[in-house]
Amino acid sequence: MTKFSHEFRLKLVMEVEEGMPLGTVARNHNVGKRALHTWVYNYRSGGVEQLTAVRRRYTQEFKLSAIEYRRANDVSYAQAATDLGIPNEGTLYDWEKRYSEQGPVGLQDARRGRPPKMLKKENKRKKPMTREEELETENNRLRMENAYLKKLNALVAEREKSGKKTK
Domain-located, residue 122: no
Burial 126-163 (b: 16+ CB within 10 A, else e): eeeeeeeeeeeeeeeeeeeeeeeeeeeeeeeeeeeeee
My answer on whether 37 and 76 are in the same domain is no
- Domain hosting 44: range is 1-54
pLDDT-above-90 percentage for the chain: 34
Q: How large is the average pLDDT for residues 146-162? A: 94
CA distance 164 to 167: 6
Give the rounded percent of residues in the chain with a pLDDT score beyond 70.
88
pLDDT, mean of residues 102-115? 78
Average pLDDT over residues 139-166: 91
Do 46 and 62 sit in the same domain of this protein? Answer: no
Kindly report the backbone phi and psi dihedral angles of residue 139, in degrees, each rounded to the nearest multiple of 5, phi listed first. Answer: -60, -45
The reported pLDDT for the residue numbered 44 is 81
Residue range 80-96: average pLDDT?
84
Mean pLDDT in residue range 34-63: 79
- What is the full DSSP assignment across 120-167? PPP-PPPPPPPHHHHHHHHHHHHHHHHHHHHHHHHHHHHHHHHHHHH-
- Say if residue 21 is in the same domain as residue 50: yes
> Is the pLDDT score of 139 beyond 80?
yes
